[in-house]
């Protein structure tokens, strides 16, 4: 239900407008004011989707009502009417921010066209505002879940790269060892991109058998192979208008690599067992823990696919190359794990943190998280260096 305010000092015209709008817009709520000042007081108290106002009125003119109302509520939508119409008056009202100007005697068809268009515009404005609010909330949720913790120079460089590439559709290859946080980088790029309202579909290429990877990526039709009991959409199709994250792409078979290359070249995929081509609009982010140049030299990875994927390359260093982040990571994991387990966060003493900073972290951030969880469970009320020595074997 939308709210419409009629501001008109001529009771006969006000009554006619009320009658017409009641008949044409039966589901909307109508209000009236007898002069500009009464109209302004109503606008102070209520948010109207549309205000229809005369210009020549006592106490406050329609042009003054328009000007003051838009200062108070800039999103207000006005349709101005006047029996003293001239081009200068109409232009002045439109410059002040009125949606439309209608001369008296009022043409009913002209009025209703203007009113409906103005209400549609207002509805669209509100929907867009709500979408922006939801989008902002979504970004915050995504960023919190996949937050990258630390203030090292290496991490700042990564954040800078993400900020530069996120708003483009450029393909990104994220490299670095297992457990360093490549997935977090992929999610940060997606959440800061214009595609963040679309899906973020993840594919762990190393976890899918080579004979099933093509079906997983591109889908299949019923009966195309043993076990294909029904049609299935592939990950590329599911990621349409969003992002697909191909994790550990260095483990993908050469046959699947050829199919992915074709999909990137043509923006089309064909399900296994089908001649049908499906158009897809997908941003591709890939990640690997392997040295891709060595994989190419060994004939295990296609060089043309590598160049397609690595338009932008982001290197995520191991934790041993950013040990200054360990303190913040320990605090973050301690609080996060406490929240998950419904317990009070445990404080890590300075010596305990220094002990953790002295270790070699072959498992990177993933290993550090596990160690923090172990110390929270097994350590005392405050985690000490003695707890680290007792429960961490390095």
Are 116 and 255 part of one and the same domain? no
Same domain, 363 and 230: no
Say whether the peptide bond before residue 247 is cis (omega within 30 degrees of 0): no
Last residue of a domain, which of 317, 346, 364?
317
Domain membership of residue 267 (yes or no) is yes
Residue 129: its pLDDT value, please?
Answer: 63
Point out which residues pair with 201 in neighbouring strands: 244
Domain annotation covers residue 24: yes
Q: Which of 277, 292, 317 is the last residue of a domain?
A: 317
DSSP state of 321: G
Q: Computed from CA positions of residues 389, 392, 393, 394, in that sequence, does the dihedral angle turn out positive or negative? A: negative
Is residue 36 in some structural domain?
yes
The DSSP-derived string for 59-75 is: SS-HHHHHHHHHHH-TT
Last residue of a domain, one of 317, 343, 361: 317
CATH of the domain at 209: 3.40.50.300
- Residues 204, 235, single domain; the answer is yes
352 found inside a domain: yes
Three-state secondary structure of 198-233: CCEEEEECCCCCCCCHHHHHHEECCCCCCCCCCCEE
The predicted model scores a pTM of 0.63
9/87 same-domain check: yes
Closest residue by Cα to residue 334 from 325, 323, 342, 346: 346
In a domain, 104, yes or no: yes
Domain annotation covers residue 18: yes
What CA–CA distances, in Å, run from 129 to 17, 122, 126, 136, 389? 30, 11, 5, 11, 54
Give yes or no: residues 166 and 267 share one domain. Answer: yes
List the domain range (segments joined by +) for residue 346. Answer: 321-391
- Domain membership flag for residue 133: no
Which residues of the chain fall below pLDDT 50? 137-142
Is residue 286 located within the same domain as residue 331? no
* 359 vs 357: CA distance, rounded Å: 6
Please check whether residues 96 and 42 belong to one and the same domain.
yes
Tell me the CATH number at 337. Answer: 1.10.8.60
My answer on whether 302 and 327 are in the same domain is no
Is the domain of 112 the same as that of 168? no
| Shared domain check, 297 and 157 | yes
CATH number, domain containing residue 66: 3.40.50.2300
Are residue 180 and residue 244 in the same domain, yes or no? yes
* Same domain as 300, residue 273: yes
In a domain, 31, yes or no: yes
Beta bridge partners of 54: 81
Domain count, the chain: 3
pLDDT score for 142? 45
């Amino acid at each position: 239900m939308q709210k419409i305010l009629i501001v008109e000092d001529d009771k006969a015209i006000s009554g006619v407008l009320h009658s017409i709008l009641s008949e044409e817009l039966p589901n909307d709520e109508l209000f009236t004011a007898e002069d500009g000042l009464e109209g302004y007081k109503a606008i102070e108290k209520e948010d109207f989707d549309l205000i229809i106002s005369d210009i020549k009125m006592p106490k406050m003119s329609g042009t003054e009502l328009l000007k003051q109302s838009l200062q108070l509520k800039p999103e207000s939508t006005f349709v101005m009417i006047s029996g003293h119409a001239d081009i200068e008056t109409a232009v002045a009202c439109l410059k002040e921010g009125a949606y439309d100007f209608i001369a008296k005697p009022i043409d009913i068809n002209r009025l209703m066209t203007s009113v409906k268009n103005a209400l549609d515009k207002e509805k669209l404005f509100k929907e867009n505002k709500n979408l922006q609010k939801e989008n902002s909330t979504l970004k915050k949720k995504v960023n919190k879940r996949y937050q990258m913790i630390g203030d090292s120079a290496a991490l700042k460089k990564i954040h800078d790269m993400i900020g530069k590439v996120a708003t483009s559709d450029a393909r990104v290859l994220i490299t670095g060892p297992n457990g360093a946080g490549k997935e977090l980088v992929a999610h940060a790029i997606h959440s800061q991109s214009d595609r963040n309202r679309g899906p973020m579909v993840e594919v762990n290429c190393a976890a899918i058998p080579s004979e099933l990877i093509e079906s997983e990526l591109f889908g299949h039709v019923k009966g195309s192979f043993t076990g294909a009991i029904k049609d299935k959409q592939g990950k590329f199709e599911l990621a349409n208008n969003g992002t697909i994250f191909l994790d550990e792409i260095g483990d993908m078979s050469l046959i699947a690599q050829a199919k992915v290359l074709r999909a990137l070249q043509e923006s089309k995929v064909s399900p296994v067992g089908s001649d049908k081509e499906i158009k897809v609009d997908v941003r591709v982010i890939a990640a690997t823990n392997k040295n891709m140049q060595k994989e190419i030299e060994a004939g295990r990875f296609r060089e043309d696919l590598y160049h397609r994927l690595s338009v932008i390359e982001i290197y995520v260093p191991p934790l041993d190359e950013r040990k200054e982040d360990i303190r913040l990571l320990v605090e973050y994991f301690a609080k996060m794990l406490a929240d998950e387990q419904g317990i009070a966060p445990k404080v890590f003493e300075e010596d305990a943190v220094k002990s953790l900073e002295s270790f070699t972290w072959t498992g990177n951030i993933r290993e550090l998280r596990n160690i923090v969880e172990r110390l929270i469970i097994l350590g005392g009320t405050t985690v000490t260096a003695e707890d680290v020595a007792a429960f961490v074997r390095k």
